[in-house]
Copies of this chain bind each other. A is one copy, B any other.
């Protein structure tokens, strides 16, 4: 039913080895023979079985990506980066979107079983036990946007430095009383951003009192509530650093509802540089994250692991955590 390499060989009057050689452009094949084989392939509309090739080659030219969602501009940028990197070496990308926990498992399993040559895991937290097994023997792995503290190449955005840059800028505006609206408490991102702010403040001899640190959850609404809480303080802050743009936007609304002005009465800055940030009034000062680049570099790293694996060249001590630099985006909400 499906045409195989045997059918082609018979039709061209050669052995399957020769057909394989012309398909893969390996070794020398006489022009006439090549011609005949090509003709047979054409006539029979032959397409090599990818599974058989993968099995024989121990390689599928396919990269697996596990990501929480694709239906989200933030994650989608990562996907684009990964896809572009894969394209450069003619690799296909297989996306496993873990919308449902059950299916996440299914994909991880499929990927590890040699369906892909390597995989990139984004913002995922697998049971580290399972992960360890996977990396120990099997498919090379690279992580992005999540640090498991394991011996796995990991690409992260440098939240700490980004926060520092932003805080330093706030210092230039000479604000003294600065508040922080955190993301969900247990996320490393939020903690790193807070740490950046705190360090800069203390270097400038300033405090970050507990009442100036209010917990949000990154989502719409929480920034609003947090800001209201800050506004009730007797010594309300002069500037507010929100752990992401969404909460910064919320905070701006809360301030304006209270009849105050941004940045004149209170400055507000965010983190992420989401598209909406530039459309606000005032436009939001924030920190741009190199998301696309994150995907790109993670994929490149995964791809290079494949080659090393096959060359089996010992275990060089390569860096295991790569921090990508953010960039400050100055707009008006900071007082500029």
Contacts and interface: CB of A to CB of B under 8 A. Distances in A.
A60 interface: yes
Contact of A107 (B92, B106, B109): B92
Nearest to A137: B2
A93 B55 CA distance: 21
A72 B76 CA distance: 10
A45 B137 contact: yes
Interface stretch (A24-32, A95-103, A197-205, A278-286): A95-103
Nearest to A110: B92
Interface string A1-26: 11100000000000000000000000
A79 B99 CA distance: 11
Interface stretch (A111-119, A143-151, A259-267): A111-119
A106 B133 contact: no
Contact of A113 (B47, B79, B95, B106): B47
A123 interface: no
Given A55-B55, A95-B95, A50 B87 contact: no
Contacts of A110: 50, 62, 92
A106 B138 CA distance: 25
A171 interface: no
B71 A60 contact: no
Interface string A73-107: 10010011001000100101111110110110011
Contacts of A103: 83, 87, 92-93
Interface residues of A, number: 47
Interface string A48-73: 11111111000010100000001111
Given A103-B83, A137-B1, A55 B45 contact: no
A102 B80 contact: no
Contact of A49 (B2, B93, B114): B114
Given A1-B137, A92-B107, A100-B87, A114 B51 contact: yes
A262 to B, nearest CB: 25
Given A87-B103, A137-B2, A109 B70 contact: no
A218 to B, nearest CB: 20
Contacts of A95: 70, 94-95, 97
Contact of A73 (B71, B107, B136): B71
Contacts of A93: 103
A49 B52 CA distance: 12
A3 B49 contact: no
The 5 closest A-B pairs by CB, nearest first: A50-B113, A71-B76, A51-B54, A70-B70, A50-B115
14 contacts: A1-B137, A48-B113, A49-B114, A50-B110, A50-B115, A51-B60, A52-B55, A53-B113, A70-B71, A71-B71, A71-B72, A79-B97, A90-B106, A92-B103
Given A51-B60, A70-B95, A92-B110, 17 more contacts: A2-B138, A47-B109, A47-B138, A49-B113, A49-B114, A50-B113, A50-B115, A51-B51, A51-B55, A62-B110, A70-B71, A79-B97, A87-B103, A92-B103, A92-B106, A92-B107, A95-B97
